[in-house]
């Protein structure tokens, strides 16, 4: 049986900050803690969820036109990626760990869609990461968070998502 790779990027916020969702790989804290005890099927299920959420955000902002260039960039910066997952997951890793070292995204086989082309790579990377994190947190709240003292976790996250989307709109307006 093939061993399933960890999605860890080496910037875990579940252990260092106590976050429910890791700001690096986007696993839930309990998944980070129990990863080594999971069988291949459970690990694959975690990766597939993360993959779907990454694709959902990244495909709406960026296009990959050269897989060899993307792969080469990841290898150049020694950024881990799982070839069994969508190249958009690879791209997320590149943006998360390497955006500050990239001058031209196109050299890595990627371009920003017109609506986002005016953003700096730093701003675009932060926008993408915030949106993926909010989406992961919403999924976590929906399926794993218990009601605390009458506060509905889904409503709290819905309010946060509205705030994040408003922030995203501000970033886009400022880029215009």
pLDDT band at 27 (very low <50, low <70, confident <90, very high): confident
Among left, alpha and beta (phi > 0; psi -120 to 50; other), residue 27 is: beta
Banded pLDDT at 106 (limits 50, 70, 90): very high
pLDDT score, position 127: 95
- At 41-90, the pLDDT tens digits run 999 999 999 899 999 999 999 999 999 999 999 999 999 898 999 999 99
Answer with the residue of higher pLDDT: 3 or 119: 119
pLDDT for residue 150: 45
pLDDT of residue 21: 82
The angle at the Cα of 68, spanning 24 to 115, to the nearest 5 degrees, equals 60
Q: Where are the beta strands (DSSP E) in the chain?
A: 62-64, 110-112
Q: What angle do CA 3, 24, 95 make, to 5 degrees?
A: 100
92: number of Cβ within 10 Å: 29
How does pLDDT run across 107-158, given as a tens digit for each residue? Answer: 999 999 999 999 999 999 999 989 998 998 888 888 876 555 444 444 554 4
Q: Give the pLDDT confidence score for residue 61 in this predicted structure.
A: 97
Please give the Cα distance from 17 to 45 (Å, whole number). 25
Domain positions in the chain are 13-175
Q: What's the pTM value of the predicted model, to 2 decimals?
A: 0.76
Burial class (CB in 10 A: 0-12, 13-18, 19+), 155: exposed
Residues 13-33: what's their mean pLDDT? Answer: 79
Q: Is the pLDDT of residue 167 over 80?
A: no
**143: alpha, beta or left, given left = phi > 0 and alpha = psi -120 to 50?**
alpha
User: Is residue 40 pLDDT above 80, yes or no?
Assistant: yes
Q: Catalogue the E-assigned strands of 80-146.
A: 110-112
- 8-state DSSP, 4: P
Confidence (pLDDT) at 103: 92
Per-residue pLDDT, 162: 55
């Amino acid at each position: 049986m093939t061993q399933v790779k960890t999605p860890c990027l080496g910037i875990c916020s579940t252990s260092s900050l106590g976050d429910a969702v890791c700001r690096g790989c986007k696993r839930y804290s309990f998944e980070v803690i129990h990863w080594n005890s999971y069988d291949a099927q459970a690990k694959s299920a975690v990766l597939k969820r993360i993959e779907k959420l990454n694709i959902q955000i990244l495909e709406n902002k960026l296009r990959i036109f050269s897989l060899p260039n993307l792969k080469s960039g990841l290898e150049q910066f020694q950024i881990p990626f799982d070839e069994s997952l969508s190249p958009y997951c690879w791209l997320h890793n590149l943006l998360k760990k390497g955006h500050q070292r990239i001058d031209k995204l196109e050299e890595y086989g990627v371009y920003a869609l017109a609506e986002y082309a005016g953003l700096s790579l730093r701003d675009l990377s932060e926008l993408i990461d915030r949106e993926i994190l909010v989406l992961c947190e919403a999924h976590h709240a929906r399926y794993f968070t218990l009601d605390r003292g009458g506060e509905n976790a889904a409503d709290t996250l819905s309010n946060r998502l509205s705030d994040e989307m408003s922030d995203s709109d501000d970033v886009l307006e400022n880029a215009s």
